[in-house]
Structure 1
Amino acid sequence: MFVALGFEVVFASCAFVYTRRLMRLGSLPLSDELNSYQRALRKLRKGEPMSQDEWNLAERIIDIRRSPLAYSVPLSFMTMGIFYVFGSLEYLHGHTPSERTFLGAIPMFTATNLIIQMRKSARLKKRLGKATIVEPDAETGPLQFSSASS
């Protein structure tokens, strides 16, 4: 239980540092719109043409979720659940555990889901170089297509 508490302190401290870094990031033009993150990642996942602002937003989301410090947030949830389960088991002194003892499994499942979702979006990094960026041209009117690698 005390080892889990030690890991909880370490991961919670890392999560605090990480969220402070995220709060200092400047906002992008599309970042304040409703569902803009999901829309940008969906376009990237499906290979649809994107605007430069959507591409920049998708790049930032992927970079944020690929950071090693980003995993400290779900890991702090995981160690919180482990601490709760071990603490409940230690409190029982060998008696039969109840359902309340295993309430700590809920943050463990949540942390597992968060890690899986972060890995799914981090894998989109390969698609960023192949994305098609649509740029409006003021002189001719129609949209010009270009590759993200140019």
Structure 2
Amino acid sequence: MNLGPWGDLTVFAGLMEFVFATCVFVYIGRMERRTSHPMGEQVGAHKAVLAKIRKREPLTQDEFDYASELVADARSPLAYAIPAALFTIGFFYVVGCLFMLHLDGGNPSFRTFIGGIPMLTSMNIAAQLRRVAGMKRKLQDIPVLEAEPTEELATVGSA
């Protein structure tokens, strides 16, 4: 059975989507099973910690541990399955439309290339992951502040 180039690409995109989706489920399953850092429950904590790393500001030990977790998550090869799966969905849509147009003898319309939206989005996600993963070197050079004793905080709060 000869599907032609668009049909072959459509089948290939479908198979790759299955592979990447499986990797996404494995990655998310691993993240759900582990105990998360307490700072992960705070709204905007990751943005604040990553901004401190970019500015090379000192971090507390909790912030350093949380930042290390964020960088390790972004450095995982399975993390890139998320943008890859999104890209493959868009690619599947585009080549599937082109395959159907090839069979019918029509011309591509704007509808054919709507799959480009998730493809562009996935490239942005991959770039963000690379940026966070690249902070490993900066994170090694950042000073970690000593935690303040809890007794001093108690006396200040009771006065």
Give the structure-1-normalised TM-score.
Answer: 0.89
Query: Does 2:146 correspond to 1:135?
Result: yes
Instruction: State which of 68, 71, 95 in structure 1 corresponds to 2:106.
Output: 95
- Select which of 117, 132, 155 maps to 1:106: 117
Equivalent of 2:46 in 37, 52, 59: 37
* Deviation of the 1:138 alpha carbon: 2.5
Structure 1 residue 137: Cα displacement: 3.9
CA RMSD, Structure 1 to Structure 2 (Å): 1.5
SS in 1 for 2:127: helix
2:150 and 2:74 map into 1 onto residues whose CA distance is 38
1:129 to partner: Cα distance: 1.3
Q: Distance in 2 between matches of 1:110 and 1:74?
A: 8
Q: Return the offset for 1:127.
A: 1.2
Q: Do residues 59 (structure 1) and 68 (structure 2) align?
A: yes
In 1, Cα distance between equivalents of 2:114 and 2:123? 15
Aligned sequence identity (%): 40
Residue 59 (structure 2) pairs with residue 18 (structure 1): no
User: What 5-or-longer segments of structure 1 have no aligned partner?
Assistant: 142-150
Distance, in Å, in 1 between the alignment partners of 2:91 and 2:112 is 11
Residue 133 of structure 2 corresponds to residue 122 of structure 1: yes
Runs of 4+ in 1 over 2 A off after TM superposition: 136-141
Q: Deviations over 1:42-83 (max 9, x none)?
A: 111111111100000100000000000110010000111110
One-letter identity of the residue aligned with 2:112? T
Matched pairs, number: 141
How far apart are 1:29 and its partner, in Å? 2.2
1:146 aligned partner: none
The 1-side partners of 2:34 and 2:128 are apart by 22
SS in 2 for 1:136: coil
Contact 2:20 2:84 in 1 (8 A): yes
Shift in Å at residue 139 of structure 1?
A: 9.0
Unaligned runs of 5+ in 2: 1-9, 153-159
CA distance in 1, matches of 2:71, 2:149: 30
Instruction: Give the alignment partner of residue 95 of structure 2, picking from 73, 86, 94.
Output: 86
Aligned match of 1:72: 81
User: Which has the higher mean CA deviation after the structures are superposed, 47-56 or 93-102?
Assistant: 93-102
For the pair shown, the structure with the greater C-alpha radius of gyration is 2
Deviation at 1:140, TM superposition (A): 10
Q: Which has the higher helix share?
A: 2
Rounded Cα–Cα distance in structure 1 between residues aligned with 2:106 and 2:12 = 22
